[in-house]
Chain A
Amino acid sequence: MACSIIVAWYNHPELLSNFLHAMDGEEFGELFVMDNASEPDTAALLDKHITAIGGKVVHRTVNLQTEAIVQGIDMAANELIVSVNNDIIKTRSGWLAELTAGVSPGVWCGAEVHDLSKSKTAFIDGWCWAALRSDFRSIGGYDPEFEEPAYWADIDLCWRATQAGIRFQQVDIGLKHIKSVTSKPMQDDPEFWNVFHRNEQRWLAKGQGGKGET
């Protein structure tokens, strides 16, 4: 089944070469890079290099990760959706086919799946996951009430997915996540933690239970 890959991108042009290398040779139906209001230099590089590999760059005016992913999912022509970060390194070819092979109604596949006992949910790490769009929409997608960029929206999504009977399956693929390239600078900002805790409160207020997971 052809897939549509959705990638949210905000600055960090130095990630582009590893990303392009990761995409090379992987058979995707569509590639959407959602440019979240990057600086003009980065936007120009995305236009040049993403279109060269057959992808499309969607230039947005705001930097909102989950909103961008939802927009990309809505634009996609394919039912099979792959959401992947831009801070990735390919270690083995064929990762896309391996990731998507197990996706079916009620089964989402991801590079990392965790059991978040404190949040009482299984968790599919947002840097690389694949699902059917109908599944994603059936549980309401991401809750826009969670302020970006401070997490919890993904835990909330996973909680609603597991409550709806969706199963997460971890797949060993040849893709690595360069942790903390994009998140570490944010986490150095005190305001990030203000938003983080507001989102945590929102999570608790929704009655999902559980406690903070970081």
Chain B
Amino acid sequence: MRVLIVHGERRPPGEMGGAESLLRDQAKALKARGHDVAWWYGQGTLEQACNNFQPDFVHVMTIHCYIGMGPLEWLQEQKIPHLMHVQDYWPFCGGRMLMRGFDEPCPAVTGLCDQCQPAPKELLDITNKSFIVAGNEHTAAIYRRNGLRCDAVVELGVDTEMFKQGEKKPCSVCTSAAFAAAGWKGMHILKEGIVDSDIDVTLITGVPREKVAEMLRAADIYVFPSIYEETFGLCLCEAMASGCACIATDVAGARAQIDHNVTGMLVPPRNPDALRDAIDYMLTHPSHKESMAFVARKHVEKSHTLDAMAERWEAVYEKVLHGV
């Protein structure tokens, strides 16, 4: 199949955050399964890209800023087979992230958006005309509850040849994020949690992905302190693949990946004490820590490799194309 991946951040894939790293991995995974893949991120028009590449399928993601909704509308008008893999909550949340300040949960997380920062209505109207994919079941539920159709869920995968177990530095603790300064990543909560303790946390940010993988290989414990309803959380998956014992806030994407006390620990978001207590637990219960890290790694190897993800995408492409 010839698949054109569309994203709207106006930079080549891999140069920005998790969603953008995903594009590169996704292409790699699909190519490994024999598909031809190309990217369009605003160079020329989408019509030109389609005329040149002649895709069988167009896979759209992160198309909400810079490029705008025009390309999606064009795909709909031309009836070109496509799906929209929605990242974040921009079709109905003007702030994108379901955040009402960093210390107050947004009502849309468990109920309905109260329009504190409404998105333009046309975003929802236009998006709802496409086949929508979410990154996990909990995000899908939020979408559906707030008027965004959700036709499928595809949990993501990571390159388990890059992100793999290494020799651990005992009791080392780390965290990571492409945009660590962004409030929704919760780094300020983690910092507050450890400020009066002996716990030292290394922040992995601003380095090439290969360096991220190298640092995660050596890390014993990983903390994912996000306070936003992550639509998946690739950082966490990378850490699990790297054999880290993971602590994550109980937000959508993390909850989809971690079974509490089995493949890691889940703690309430926005709670610095809970983060610190979980780190303390990991440091003082080495056997349980190691077994959780082990089972997490096994889980990723089984269900969240690039190949497993590509297989899930293939099934969705077939569903859109042939209704199967």
- Once the chains bind, are B287 and A14 in contact (CB under 8 Å)? no
Contact of A49 among B262, B287, B290 (CB under 8 A): B262
Interface residues on A, range: 10 to 19
- A14-B298 CB under 8 A given contacts A45-B259, A45-B262, A48-B259: no
Residues of A within 8 A of B290 (CB): 21
Query: Complex Cα distance A12/B299, Å?
Result: 20
User: A113 within 8 Å of B by Cβ?
Assistant: no
Q: Is the CB of A17 within 8 A of B298?
A: no
From A14, A48, A89, contact of B261 by CB (8 A): A14
CB <8 Å contact, A24 and B298: yes
Mark interface residues in A23-62 (1 if CB within 8 Å of B CB, else 0): 0100000000000000000000100110010000000000
Asked if B302 and A17 sit within 8 Å, CB to CB, the answer is: no
Instruction: A42 to B220: give the CA distance in the assembly, Å.
Output: 27
Determine the interface band of chain B, counting residues with CB < 8 A from chain A: 10 to 19
Complex interface bits, B259-285 against A, C-beta within 8 A gives 1, otherwise 0: 111110000000000000000000000
A13, A17, A48: the one contacting B291 at CB < 8 Å is A17
Q: How far is the CA of A13 from the CA of B262 in the complex (A)?
A: 7
- Are A14 and B291 in contact (CB-based, < 8 A)? no
User: When A and B form their complex, what is the total count of cross-chain residue pairs whose Cβ atoms lie within 8 Å?
Assistant: 45
B287 touches A89 (CB 8 A): yes
**Is B288 in contact with chain A by the CB < 8 A criterion?**
yes
Contacts of B291 in A (CB 8 A): 17-18, 20-21, 89
Q: Is B294 in the interface zone, CB < 8 Å from A?
A: yes
Residue B295 interfacial (CB < 8 Å): yes
Complex Cα gap A20–B291 (Å): 8
Q: Is residue B292 contacting chain A, with contact meaning CB distance below 8 A?
A: yes
Residue of B nearest to A53 (CB): B298
Interface string of B237-260 (1 = CB under 8 A from A): 000000000000000000000011
| Given A21-B294, A21-B295, A13:B261 Cβ within 8 A | yes
Q: B288 contacts which chain A residues (CB < 8 A)?
A: 14, 17-18
Q: Of B292, B295, B302, which is in contact with the most chain A CB atoms at under 10 Å from its CB?
A: B295
Measured CB to CB, the closest approach of chain B to A212, in angstroms, equals 33
Kindly list chain A residues whose C-beta atoms are within 8 Å of the C-beta of B259: 13, 16, 45, 48-49
Contacts of A21 in B (CB 8 A): 290-291, 294-295
Alpha-carbon separation in the docked complex, A53 to B299 (Å)? 10
A122-163 interface code vs B (CB 8 A; 1 in, 0 out): 000000000000000000000000000000000000000000
Can you list, as one digit per residue, whether each of B292-305 has a CB less than 8 Å from chain A (1) or not (0)?
10110011001000
A17, A18, A89: the one contacting B263 at CB < 8 Å is A17
Q: Which of B260, B291, B294 has the most CB of A within 10 A?
A: B291
Residues of A within 8 A of B294 (CB): 17, 20-21, 24
The chain A residues found within 8 Å of chain B, CB to CB, are 13-14, 16-18, 20-21, 24, 45, 48-49, 52, 89
29 A-B residue pairs with Cβ-Cβ distance under 8 Å, sorted by A, are: A13-B262, A14-B261, A14-B262, A14-B288, A16-B261, A16-B262, A17-B261, A17-B263, A17-B288, A17-B291, A17-B295, A18-B287, A18-B288, A20-B262, A20-B294, A20-B298, A21-B290, A21-B294, A21-B295, A24-B294, A24-B298, A45-B262, A48-B259, A49-B262, A49-B299, A52-B298, A52-B299, A52-B302, A89-B287
Given contacts A14-B261, A49-B262, 14 further A-B contacts (CB under 8 A): A13-B259, A13-B261, A16-B295, A17-B295, A18-B291, A20-B262, A20-B294, A20-B298, A21-B295, A48-B259, A49-B259, A49-B295, A52-B299, A52-B302
